[in-house]
Structure 1
Amino acid sequence: MWIALGILAWVAGWALNVWLAGRARSRATALAVPVVFGLTIVIVWEAVVRGFGISPVLLPAPTAIAAEFGQSAGVLWEDFVQTVLKGALSGYVIGCGAALLTAVVVDRFDFLRRGLLPVGNFVAALPIVGTAPILVMWFGFDWQSKAAVVVVMVFFPVLVNAVEGLRDTSVMQRDLMRTYAAGYWTTLLKLRLPAAMPFIFNGLKIASTLALIGAIVAEFFGSPIRGMGFRISTSVGLLALDLVWAEIVVAALAGSAFYGGLALIEKAVTFWHPSQRGQG
């Protein structure tokens, strides 16, 4: 019965998404398609786990994860505050802010661009499993070390995108500003910084996913008795996979909300850019 229910849910979800995709594009249909697709996956997941009798140690059912979510709401909130708000968000703000300020300085002095960006590419290629233990030893086991890991992870992607964006204006545009007797800072604020916004937001969106990943992974190498990474590592050892999946759900929701918020801000700031035209 469960397998039949899963097949029926998949067929119904597929048909509904095909029908929605064929309708005129609007905000309602754009939101409905991923919602229907997600609900279909959850129903099929539940049906497969129950139909084949899969052990909850290997893959718990969505209903079991939801039940654990309700029972452990206090623990999940505490872990969310420790990892997302203290570690990831603070590191993100510090790292991105420092990267944007550094980009202006690098843009002003060309020798810094030639010397710093190759070093940045090298540092960005370093694996987090190598840098995280070092930073944990330097800054301690609380959220400060996780924020430091996030700063290292987000700094150079934002820096590279911001520098490239500041160089995106044409010679004709810069010459036009000079005919208006505009100096460097006026040209930067009125022309080059607005033109760089699509590049900057691209870096900020990339950094938003890196920040959460960095904070969670850093907690595997040392943390107080709270945090999403700490909870995941200890719960795996205790075979409490329903709690592990609950933490994953919280991380996915937080990351999606963060990315979506940045996308909305980007749309409001860069409404003039061709990439934003024609979007609902």
Structure 2
Amino acid sequence: MKWIIGVLIFWVAAYALNIWLANSKWRNTRVVKFAVPAIFGITILVIWEGLVKGLQVPSVILPPPSMIAAKVVDSIPILRGDLVQTFVKGALTGYVIGCGAAVITAILIDRSPFLQRGLLPVGNFIAALPIIGTAPILVMWFGFDWQSKAAVVVVMVFFPMLVNTVQGLKATDQMQRDLMRTYAGSYWQTLFKLRLPAAMPAIFNGLKIATTLALIGAIVAEFFGSPTRGMGFRISVEVGRLGLDMVWAEIF
């Protein structure tokens, strides 16, 4: 009970402090702008810790932040290896290859109406396929190491990036393109000086979507086969062992 009372007192104090900072004459300073969300985050952690311990929630259901932090400190070498395996080798490699290939393909599609009519419908179909269906196939094709995870990421990010880039290249109107022709601008000059800059909002929107898909794809792909390291591998193993503190450590 003392944990719950302590949590309530801390929450009231933190709330009052945040209100005071938000309405103070220093509210527009950099320190206060940093302090307000920091206090809010600390309050969430304290409430989490207090409620879990006060209500005696089993750690296999929800471990307290202190247990998760201790697990992170004790497992730094393991977490570092999992991060390199999943994020650097799998997600980041696939992200760069997939997004780069999508931009190049979008330019080729822009040059060829035939490819635009033939490839985009196929791309939309493949993009709609669930990852749990394509990941096992790619794991069997490319092996159980990071290459198969990168291949899954490439498939996941390629078509959303392709569609966004193709749409972005259409952002300029006919008058702007005609103006470039009156200046004797070639296709590539028009592309790099007019159309690609105009397409940047759509391209960055595709990159934003692909960022989320890349990490999801790399982690989920590890559920279907992986060496003895990786975030997805560790999560699946620790869930089976009821090691929820390690699962949360991987998430954080």
- With the shorter chain as reference, the TM-score category is over 0.9
CA distance in 2, matches of 1:58, 1:11: 27
Q: How far does residue 181 in structure 1 lie from its aligned partner after superposition?
A: 1.2
Please tell me the root mean square deviation across aligned C-alpha atoms, in Å: 1.9
The residue matched to 1:57 in structure 2 has which SS? coil
The residue matched to 1:221 in structure 2 has which SS? coil
Superposed, 1:170-249 pairs within 5 Å as: 170-249=173-252
Structure 2 unmatched ranges of 5 or more: none
Question: Larger deviation: 63-72 or 108-117?
Answer: 108-117
Match of 2:116 among 95, 113, 118: 113
Q: How far does residue 38 in structure 1 lie from its aligned partner after superposition?
A: 2.3
**How many residues align structurally?**
249
Match of 1:95 among 93, 98, 112: 98
Q: How far does residue 171 in structure 1 lie from its aligned partner after superposition?
A: 2.0
* Aligned partner letter, 1:6: V
CA distance in 1, matches of 2:40, 2:159: 35
Q: Which residue of 1 aligns with 2:107?
A: 104
CA distance in 2, matches of 1:155, 1:234: 30
TM-score w.r.t. the length of structure 2 is 0.92
State yes or no: 1:35 paired with 2:38.
yes
The residue matched to 2:227 in structure 1 has which SS? coil
Q: Which residue of 1 aligns with 2:3?
A: 2
Structure 1 unmatched ranges of 5 or more: 250-280
CA distance in 1, matches of 2:29, 2:142: 48
Q: How far does residue 11 in structure 1 lie from its aligned partner after superposition?
A: 3.7
Residues 85 and 2 of structure 1: CA distance in aligned 2, closer, same or farther (over 3 Å): same
State yes or no: 1:80 paired with 2:83.
yes
Residues 186 and 12 of structure 1: CA distance in aligned 2, closer, same or farther (over 3 Å): farther
Residues 130 and 17 of structure 1: CA distance in aligned 2, closer, same or farther (over 3 Å): farther
Residues 75 and 155 of structure 1: CA distance in aligned 2, closer, same or farther (over 3 Å): same
* Aligned partner letter, 1:8: I
Question: Larger deviation: 12-21 or 2-11?
Answer: 12-21
CA distance in 2, matches of 1:136, 1:242: 28
Spell out, residue by residue over 1:40-74, the C-alpha distance to the aligned partner (whole angstroms, 9 max, x if none).
Answer: 21111111101101110110000000000000101
* Aligned partner letter, 1:7: L
CA distance in 1, matches of 2:29, 2:196: 31
How much identity, in percent, do the aligned residues show? 68
CA distance in 2, matches of 1:215, 1:84: 7
Q: How far does residue 188 in structure 1 lie from its aligned partner after superposition?
A: 0.3
State yes or no: 1:163 paired with 2:161.
no
Q: How far does residue 36 in structure 1 lie from its aligned partner after superposition?
A: 3.2
